[in-house]
Amino acid sequence: MSARGHAFGIDIGGSGVKGAVVDLATGTLTHDRIKIATPQPSTPDAVAGAVAELVAQAQWDGPVGLTLPCVVLDGHARTAANVDHGWIGTDARSLFAKALDGREVTVLNDADAAGLAEDSYGAARDLTGLTLLLTFGTGIGSALMYNGTLVPNSELGHLVVTGAEAEHLAAASVKDREELTYPQWAERVSTVLGHIEDLFWPSVIVAGGGISRDHDQWIPLLTNRTPVIPAVLKNTAGIVGAAMAIDSGIAP
Ligand code: BGC
């Protein structure tokens, strides 16, 4: 973090590598986010190159926080559900540090970053108890927050529900691929949420991911027990959470 309370966050996703300077007092970006298309295949070296390009474009020379759509433990990616499998076992922290001239980097799971951001600045900011953020995108990401503390790498998108992984049943990409209507998709989401809430009993579920922009078309259709509220930070949550993780000790 810089002395002025600004930090740089980068959100690495299947289609874009997005980054910006974040004002940590407000959780807002200080400029339009910079986006570079995720290289295909999204191998570690190719993505590290895109990250270096993005940081150079931003002319940022301080520490950088980054998200990956992977379980991240001690800076190492441990899974790769919707990204090149070459990430599994990669020391992402060292890889990015090397690509960024040896500067300090922090790496965490993308949904965990979004959960931190929504918990501090967004939909869950005034809530106590157990909050669950789910991101509906290519897959389903999850972040469990208890009174402001993140329980990292929860990976609830891989919970098996009625014989299939939750994200294979109810990710936003599945809605598109199978051309489901909102009522059809909401029924699947309700099934997934029903299983999750029976196991974890969160006080509230925050729905994130691009499809949360259309929340009025599907959140009212959900039939599960726990209140579901839309995320507030939308497409900046990952960037903001990545920036928050720098120096904070919250990245696993
Ligand atoms: C991955 C998670 C990730 C989520 C959203 C899942 O497939 O396993 O680590 O948070 O997708 O990108």
What is the domain range of residue 190?
Answer: 126-232
Q: Is the pLDDT of residue 231 over 70?
A: yes
* CA–CA separation, 79 and 95 (whole Å): 16
163 and 82: one domain? no
Residue nearest to atom 12 of ligand 1 (CA): 69
> From the alpha carbon of 153, which atom of ligand 1 is closest?
9
CA-proximal residue: ligand 1, atom 5 (nearest): 141
Both 88 and 140 in one domain: the answer is no
Model pLDDT for residues 62-79, shown as the tens digit of each residue: 999 999 999 999 999 999
- Alpha-carbon span 244 to 208, nearest angstrom: 18
Same domain, 136 and 216: yes
What angle, rounded to 10 degrees, do the helices at 44-58 and 92-99 form?
Answer: 40
DSSP letter assigned to residue 138: S
104 plus 136 within the same structural domain: no
Residue 121 belongs to some domain of the structure: no
pTM reported for the whole predicted model? 0.97
Q: Are residues 85 and 150 in the same domain?
A: no
Q: What is the pLDDT of residues 138-167, one digit of tens each?
A: 999 999 999 999 999 999 999 999 999 999
Q: Contact at 8 Å (CB) between 4 and 207?
A: no
Question: Does the CB atom of residue 153 touch ligand 1 within 6 A?
Answer: no
153 in a structural domain: yes
Count: domains in the chain: 2
Q: Are residues 60 and 82 in the same domain?
A: yes
Do 167 and 107 fall into the same domain?
Answer: no
Q: Tell me, what's the pLDDT at 3? A: 45
Q: Using the mean position of ligand 1's atoms as its centre, give its distance from the Cα of residue 236 in Å.
A: 17
73 Cα–ligand 1 center, Å? 14
Q: Give the residue, out of 140, 150, 151, with the most ligand 1 atoms within 8 A of its beta carbon, to mutate for a pocket test.
A: 140
Q: Are residues 158 and 220 in the same domain?
A: yes
Question: Is the peptide bond preceding residue 183 cis, with omega within 30 degrees of 0?
Answer: no
What share of the chain has pLDDT > 90, as a percent?
95
Same domain membership, residue 133 and residue 47 = no
Residue 2: what pLDDT?
56
- The reply to whether 74 falls in a domain is yes
Distance 4 CA to ligand 1 centre (A): 32
